[in-house]
């Protein structure tokens, strides 16, 4: 790929036992919601969402879930990796009053988005959900942005007890009763979380950040297409608006493995 760059790891932050944030000194010029493809020269290449981006530094937040990310976790500051991107669609930057609904290790991309929304003068409320306190991400970082943050855990070990969708349902119902709806809703998390959130958003525009197995990231291989539209998440996604999400018959039902085989949720 003609935009591949070899970069030195400038900083590594340990977020949890299995999640780290890697920062690189490079002018990526990315937008919230976009992703990069990264290789550590030891085999394979994987996509990672951008959790922060300034004029001269960008970051990705990585969960250790397999062989590739286990190799990456062995890297130290000063080691080199190779990246290409940024790729994909980005979040619409709404004005007014917005709600961000996040869950698990998909939450960090909302840090970048929240910063841009704040700079735009948007009133931001974030629901930051995880299963347990030990798995909760970026709570201090989000608090430093000056936005309204509601932390939740499934077991009640940190913040409110319940899922981020539970809290979103209560907030959206209160909004309807008071006649003051959010102007826009964003969601990033497990697909079944977003599937549960979708019926609550009949009267508000939204965007979801979706994930599928990606190989090329430039729309050639077709591995990340979604039925029945043939939407390529590496090009038309990974951020999709309400009008497209509602047409996806596979959303919340199945995804595909590396061979293209359908895997039911």
Distant-in-sequence, close-in-space partners of 177: CB < 8 Å, separation ≥ 6:
none
Q: Which helix (H) or strand (E) holds 242?
A: helix 242-245
Q: Is residue 138 within 8 Å of 116, Cβ to Cβ?
A: no
Residue 130 is encoded by which pair of tokens? 């995880």
222 falls in which pLDDT band (50, 70, 90)?
A: confident
pLDDT tens profile 167-205 = 999 999 887 767 778 999 999 999 999 999 999 999 999
Whole-structure pTM value:
0.95
Q: What is the pLDDT of residues 80-136, one digit of tens each?
A: 999 999 999 999 999 999 999 999 999 999 999 999 999 999 999 999 999 999 999
Residue 102 lies in a domain: yes
38, 169: one domain:
no
* CA 82/CA 72 separation, integer angstroms: 12
Angle at CA of residue 247, ends 244 and 253, nearest 5°: 115
Better pLDDT: 181 or 71:
71
pLDDT of 14 > 70? The answer is yes
The CATH number that applies at residue 224 is 3.40.50.80
Place of tokens 């996040």: 102
Give the structural domain span for 214.
97-264
> What are the structure tokens assigned to 147, written together?
């936005």
57 and 113 share one domain? no
What is the reported pLDDT for 1?
47
At which residue do the structure tokens 């002018």 appear?
Answer: 27
Statement to judge: residues 14 and 127 lie in one domain = no
Do both 185 and 150 map to the same domain?
A: yes
**pLDDT tens column, 44-68:** 899 999 999 999 999 999 999 989 9
Instruction: Say how far apart CA 94 and CA 239 lie, in whole Å.
Output: 14
Burial of 133 (0-12, 13-18, 19+ CB in 10 A): middle
Statement to judge: residues 155 and 254 lie in one domain:
yes
**Nearest alpha-carbon partner for 189 in 210, 174, 219:** 210
Contacts of 144 (CB under 8 A, 6+ apart): none
Task: Note whether 168 and 246 are same-domain residues.
Answer: yes
User: Do 129 and 253 fall into the same domain?
Assistant: yes
What is d(CA 199, CA 209) in angstroms, rounded to the nearest whole number?
A: 16
Say whether pLDDT at 143 is over 60.
Answer: yes
Length, in residues, of the chain? 265
Eight-state DSSP code of residue 105: G
**Residue 170 within any structural domain of the chain:** yes
> Which of residues 44, 63, 87 is at a domain's end?
87
**Least confident piece of the model among 172-186, 211-225, 227-241:** 172-186
Residue 92 belongs to some domain of the structure: no
Residue 54 and residue 17 share a domain:
yes
CATH number, position 19: 2.40.30.10
pLDDT of 2 reads 56
CA–CA dist 250, 138 (Å, integer): 31
Q: Strands, E, within 177-238: which ranges? A: 184-188, 206-209, 225-226, 231-232
Q: Is the pLDDT of residue 29 over 60?
A: yes
Check: CB of residue 211 under 8 Å from CB of residue 233: yes
Q: Domain count of the chain? A: 2
Calculate mean pLDDT across residues 124-149: 95
CA distance 45 to 68: 8
């Amino acid at each position: 790929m003609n935009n591949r760059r070899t970069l030195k790891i400038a900083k590594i932050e340990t977020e949890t036992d299995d999640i780290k944030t890697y920062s690189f000194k490079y002018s990526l010029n990315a937008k919230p919601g976009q992703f990069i493809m990264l290789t550590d020269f030891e085999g394979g290449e994987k996509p990672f969402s951008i959790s922060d981006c300034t004029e001269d530094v960008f970051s990705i937040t990585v969960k250790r879930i397999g062989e590739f990310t286990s190799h990456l976790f062995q890297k130290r500051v000063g080691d080199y990796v190779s990246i290409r991107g940024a790729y994909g669609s980005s979040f619409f930057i709404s004005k007014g009053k917005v709600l961000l609904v996040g869950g698990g290790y998909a939450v960090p991309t909302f840090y970048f988005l929240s910063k841009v929304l704040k700079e735009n003068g948007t009133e931001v409320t974030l629901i930051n959900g995880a299963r347990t306190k030990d798995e909760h991400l970026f709570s201090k970082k989000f608090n430093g942005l000056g936005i309204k943050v509601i932390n939740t855990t499934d077991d009640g070990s940190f913040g409110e007890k319940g899922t981020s969708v539970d809290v979103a349902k209560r907030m959206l119902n209160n909004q309807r009763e008071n006649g003051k709806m959010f102007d826009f809703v964003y969601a990033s998390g497990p697909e079944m979380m977003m599937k549960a959130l979708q019926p609550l958003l009949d009267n508000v525009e939204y965007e979801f950040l979706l994930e599928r197995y990606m190989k090329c990231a430039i729309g050639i291989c077709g591995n990340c297409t979604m039925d029945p539209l043939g939407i390529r998440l590496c090009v038309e996604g990974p951020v999709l608006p309400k009008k497209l999400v509602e047409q996806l018959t596979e959303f919340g039902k199945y995804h595909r493995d590396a061979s293209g085989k359908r895997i039911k949720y």
